[in-house]
Structure 1
Amino acid sequence: MTDTAPPDFVVAIPARYASTRLPGKPLRLIAGEPMIVHVARRAREAGAREVVVATDDARIADALAPLGVTVCMTSSDHASGTDRLAETAAQRGWSDDTLVVNLQGDEPLAPPAAIRAAVDALIASGAPIATLAQPISGTDELFDPNCVKLVRDAQGIALYFSRAPIPWHRDAFARDRVTLPAGPWLRHIGLYVYRVGALRQFAQMRAGALEQIESLEQLRALEAGWRIAVALSPEPFPAGVDTEEDLARVERVMRDG
């Protein structure tokens, strides 16, 4: 039997200092270390051959210096993390075939196994983009517009993403919106894997009507006819950090082990 070599991929972490809800978010301390340090460490644990933090603020670069993580200084004018990653790919000279994971800088609890699962999904599907999902736990989550839902086909390819509850259970929700009926309810996890060539193309595409209506960047790809492979996270993928309450939650998780 011949052992299969692990996939070769890089992880790029967009990290912007400014945040309306949590100023200086990448540098907020969790268990005594800046949050961005925890995220970079998770990326390394996933087996990436290269981990790059893409930022526009020297303070973030300074915080990462003790860890020896590569920092790519990018424009402060980017509208999204995807645009920042496209500039990073150009600066680093990554080839069009390079697999790059877009791991958000506010995901200090990202499971390394989930990062690898998304990479595997891209390779197995041949799709230009892959992402992750996990089952929704209750109706509060299902009906929360901040929780992005998705549906996928029998091959695991995304059919649609929405802030609304999808699929809509016509009969069950007509009677009761408190009890979650059995069904394929999935929460989207905002981690993406691209081949760099697809990343460059995507960053140059204009936002479509669906993206503008739902304010979901991934709908730009679906509206253009691109396939997005969706892997189920092999272990729970906790929500990222947006608020002081989120910081306290992550601190508890790390403290309690």
Structure 2
Amino acid sequence: MDPRWWSFEGTHGGWVAGAALTAVRDAFAGVHRPVRSLTTHYLTPVGTGPLRFSGTAPATGRRTATCLFTGHQDGEPVVLGSALFGPARGGPAHTGLTAPEVPGPDDCVPVDLPAELALFARQLEIRPATADLPLAGGPRAVLVAWVRFRDDRPVDAAAVATLADVLPPALYARWRTPRPVPTAEMTVHFTDALDDGPAHGWSLVRIRTDHAGGGWALDDSAVWSAEGRLLAAARQARVVRDPVTPQTAAGTMNS
């Protein structure tokens, strides 16, 4: 696992999900259908050592194929999940989750997330598109930003899985002191916008907390292409932990 993608307690969860998807595709080369959903359960923080995947042969129906997988480090399971593949087919079209109306990336100011909290963010350019900012103590638990990979990689399904988890937990928009909010489970649903190939350049990412209580939070996120096409929608179950120590919390964002 690439150490540059380190997050609060381990390797970035979205990056792990993308790696799982890539591994499943590599292991089951016969699955040529586009991916439709990817569910990843995080059993423990993923370190920077080798992450080895095992899984089942795809259970293939008339139109779909489902693969179950487990990721191991040092012989211990650290993630498990499933990927659903299915081809495009004719049917009605509907666009219910439209991109928010925000300024374009050229009109938004870049922001740097604290390296001690989100080392992985150095691999990205992040430009908040609204007044909601992490650790600004705002009124809403929502963040919207333009994001692109600094290495200009194509925005394929694995990259979209990363982007679905790339912004801080939406509760950060209401807080002023950081605390760990690791993802326990994430499901990403991909749209047909990727059927003809990957997107490129900027993506617009939105994350919001739909509910928090009892030490848990439910986050909803969406990823759109620069042209406003919905690429994926995701849901996460997250654990809300105690605030970090004052030494760690001393890191601030520089905009």
Which of the pair has the greater relative contact order for Cα pairs under 8 Å at 6+ separation? 1
Q: Same fold (TM over 0.5)?
A: no
TM-score between the two structures when normalised by the length of structure 1: 0.25
Normalised TM-score (structure 2) = 0.26
Q: Which has the higher strand share?
A: 2
